[in-house]
């Protein structure tokens, strides 16, 4: 699913929306395209538009300050760059380090990306019990990092003119 990152007029990341919704916001002149997807243009009978990866609202929207990035399976996979925490191969599943059956929760610190094979092998055990080693520690991304990750804008690919966002 293609998603577009929405920035406030002040350049703070606000949310992600579908590509379709992003295009509507641009066509309604409510937002401008800050970053286009390379090599992808949208065509209609009347016009041609670069496919927006990041758009910025023209008017500033006041939003309640979010202290924490909401947890999601998708967010965990993005945080871990779709790499298995146990073997480093491509991951398509999310593993609970402390299994849910033992009280482990859906939290950033208790979940890692894992390949289906390792997830199956670890089953209802802790890494120690399964004799498996975590290649890296899970961490909690900042809310803005979570948004950047979710649209595939990683560190090192920050947008030109993107101000440093203070950690929550």
Taking CB under 5 A as the rule, which mask of x and - marks residues 126-165 in contact with Zn ion? Answer: ----------------------------------------
Q: Between 117 and 157, whose beta carbon lies closer to Zn ion?
A: 117
Looking from the CA of 90 toward its CB, the CA atoms found within 13 Å total 1
Phi, psi (degrees; rounded to nearest 5) at 159: -75, 150
Residue number, 55 or 76, with CB nearest to Zn ion: 76
Minimum Å gap between C-beta 118 and Zn ion is 3
Taking alpha carbons only, the member of 75, 69, 27, 80 closest to residue 50 is 27
Q: Least CB distance from residue 117 to Zn ion, whole Å? A: 6
Q: Which residues inside 60-119 make contact with Zn ion, applying CB under 5 A?
A: 84, 86-87, 115, 118
Number of residues that bind Zn ion (CB under 5 A): 5
Q: Is 38 helix (H, G, I), strand (E, B) or coil?
A: strand
Distance of closest approach, residue 26 Cβ to Zn ion, in angstroms: 40
Cβ pair 76, 69 in contact under 8 A: no
Task: Give the contacts of 6 (CB within 8 A, at least 6 positions apart).
Answer: 13, 14, 15, 16, 17, 22, 25, 31, 54, 55, 56, 57
Query: Cβ 137 to Zn ion, closest distance in Å?
Result: 16
Site for Zn ion, rule CB under 5 A: 84, 86-87, 115, 118
């Amino acid at each position: 699913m293609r998603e577009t990152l929405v920035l406030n007029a002040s350049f703070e990341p606000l949310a992600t929306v579908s590509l379709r919704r992003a295009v509507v916001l641009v066509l309604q002149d409510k937002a401008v395209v800050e970053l286009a997807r390379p090599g992808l243009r949208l065509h209609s009978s009347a016009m041609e538009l670069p496919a927006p990866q990041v758009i910025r609202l023209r008017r500033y929207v006041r939003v309640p300050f979010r202290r924490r990035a909401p947890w999601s399976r998708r967010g965990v996979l993005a945080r871990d760059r779709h790499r298995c925490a146990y073997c480093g191969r491509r991951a398509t599943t999310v593993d609970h380090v402390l299994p849910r059956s033992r009280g482990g929760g859906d939290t950033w610190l208790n979940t890692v990306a894992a390949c289906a094979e390792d997830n199956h092998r670890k089953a209802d055990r802790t890494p120690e019990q399964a004799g498996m080693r975590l290649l890296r520690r899970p961490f909690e991304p900042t809310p803005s990092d979570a948004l950047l990750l979710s649209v595939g804008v990683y560190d090192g690919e920050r947008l030109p003119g993107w101000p440093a966002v203070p950690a929550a």
